[in-house]
């Protein structure tokens, strides 16, 4: 999950900050980031929202970091 780590560092977030933004326990987040654990669909969604990117980018399906347009009432 080098993309996940790269985005986190670009935004100057710590793993603890990611825990606060997503609700994913820091130790679980670390395992996801280092490829020792897979993320669930819901975790991928939370991470994409926190890092302002798309789930496709996190999954390696696109090289475009920008998120898709979202509805204003969506969180």
The band of 71, judged by pLDDT with boundaries at 50, 70 and 90, is confident
Domains present along the chain, CATH in parentheses: 2-59 (1.10.260.40)
Would you state the pLDDT for residue 73? 66
Q: At what angle do helices 41-51 and 15-22 cross, to 10 degrees?
A: 110
Q: What whole-number distance in Å separates Cα of residue 63 and Cα of residue 75? A: 23
pLDDT in tens, 36-70: 999 999 999 999 999 999 999 999 999 999 998 87
Checking if the pLDDT of 16 tops 90, the result is yes
Report the predicted TM-score, pTM, of the whole model to 2 decimal places: 0.86
């Amino acid at each position: 999950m080098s993309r996940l780590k790269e985005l986190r560092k670009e935004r100057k977030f710590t793993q603890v900050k990611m825990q606060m933004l997503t609700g994913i326990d820091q130790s679980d987040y670390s395992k996801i980031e280092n490829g020792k654990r897979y993320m669930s669909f819901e975790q991928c969604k939370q991470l994409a929202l926190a890092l302002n990117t798309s789930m496709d980018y996190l999954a390696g399906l696109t090289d475009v970091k920008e998120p898709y347009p979202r509805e204003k009432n969506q969180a």
